[in-house]
Chain A
Amino acid sequence: QVQLQESGPGLVKPSQTLALTCTVSGGPISSDNYYWTWIRQPAGKGLEWIGRVYTTGGTNYNPSLKSRVTASVDTSKNQISLKMSSVTAADTAVYYCARDLGYSWLDPWGQGILVTVSS
């Protein structure tokens, strides 16, 4: 079955760019026309949708984050990526990737990666 695994630096300095990768195993991400989604969760708080990227590269982003976020897909590596620029402490959260089967039907999810923004 499809499994997702997030990776990237656990610590990012303020004003820098956060870069995360989600590696998909269990099948080629290009085999089905799904969206691949990024979600985050600050400690003790709820889930926030960041954005999604289609297998052909089309994207949608949370309007509140749109100016700082870029999601992309690399079918040759079976990976999706997230870049978030000009980070602040408010971007400290656990970041999850998930497959989007259609309009918020997210399954499965990765285990998540904690990213801390601090100098």
Chain B
Amino acid sequence: QSVLTQPPSASGTPGQRVTISCSGSSSNIGRNSVNWYQQLPGMAPKLLIHSSSQRPSGVPDRFSGSKSGTSASLAISGLQSEDEADYYCATWDDSLISVVFGGGTKLTVL
């Protein structure tokens, strides 16, 4: 059971906009920024969004992140086939004194 809650799956057709939610609590998302990771099949995870809404250099602006209260969201617009991957949210938990991850969301591009 993950500390952060993500839907196990999401899907969309090419060109669509998809959002993935990440729900936490006052000890983690409520106090700290959220980071998102993309894991392509057979690959190591890669940083997608940091500090809740900042895109690292090289990440397309189709990807965006937001945070409100104890929840965060990742939005992918103009969905492409290469976006098919697992997506994980992560943050620091002040009570556990540890990094916590969501269970991951498998995105399927139909």
Contact of B103 among A46, A63, A101, A103 (CB under 8 A): A46
Provide the residues of chain A in CB contact with B44, threshold 8 Å: 96, 109-112
Q: State A89–B32 Cα separation when bound (angstroms).
A: 34
Q: State A111–B39 Cα separation when bound (angstroms).
A: 11
The answer to whether B101 touches A60, judged by C-beta atoms less than 8 angstroms apart, is no
* A62 interface residue per 8 A CB criterion: yes
Interface bits B47-90 vs A (CB < 8 Å: 1, else 0): 10011000010000000000000000000000000000000101
Q: Which of A85-103 contact B (CB under 8 A)?
A: 96, 100-101, 103
Using A47-B45, A96-B45, A104-B90 as known contacts, say yes or no to A62 and B37 having CB atoms under 8 A apart.
no
Task: Give the total of B residues in contact with A, Cβ under 8 Å.
Answer: 26
The answer to whether A109 touches B46, judged by C-beta atoms less than 8 angstroms apart, is yes
Contact of A107 among B33, B47, B100 (CB under 8 A): B47
Query: Nearest Cβ distance between residue A62 and chain B, in whole angstroms?
Result: 5
Add 18 more A-B contacts to A103-B32, A106-B45 (CB < 8 A): A37-B99, A46-B102, A46-B103, A47-B88, A47-B90, A60-B97, A62-B98, A63-B96, A96-B45, A103-B92, A104-B90, A104-B91, A104-B100, A105-B47, A106-B90, A106-B99, A107-B56, A109-B45
Provide the residues of chain A in CB contact with B92, threshold 8 Å: 103-104
The answer to whether A52 touches B99, judged by C-beta atoms less than 8 angstroms apart, is yes
Interface bits A105-119 vs B (CB < 8 Å: 1, else 0): 111111110000000
Query: Nearest Cβ distance between residue B50 and chain A, in whole angstroms?
Result: 5
Interface, chain A (partner B; CB < 8 A): 37, 46-49, 51-52, 60-63, 96, 100-101, 103-112
The answer to whether A104 touches B97, judged by C-beta atoms less than 8 angstroms apart, is no
Q: State A110–B37 Cα separation when bound (angstroms).
A: 14
Contact of A105 among B35, B45, B100 (CB under 8 A): B35
Using A46-B104, A109-B44 as known contacts, say yes or no to A103 and B99 having CB atoms under 8 A apart.
yes
Interface bits B2-29 vs A (CB < 8 Å: 1, else 0): 1000000000000000000000000000
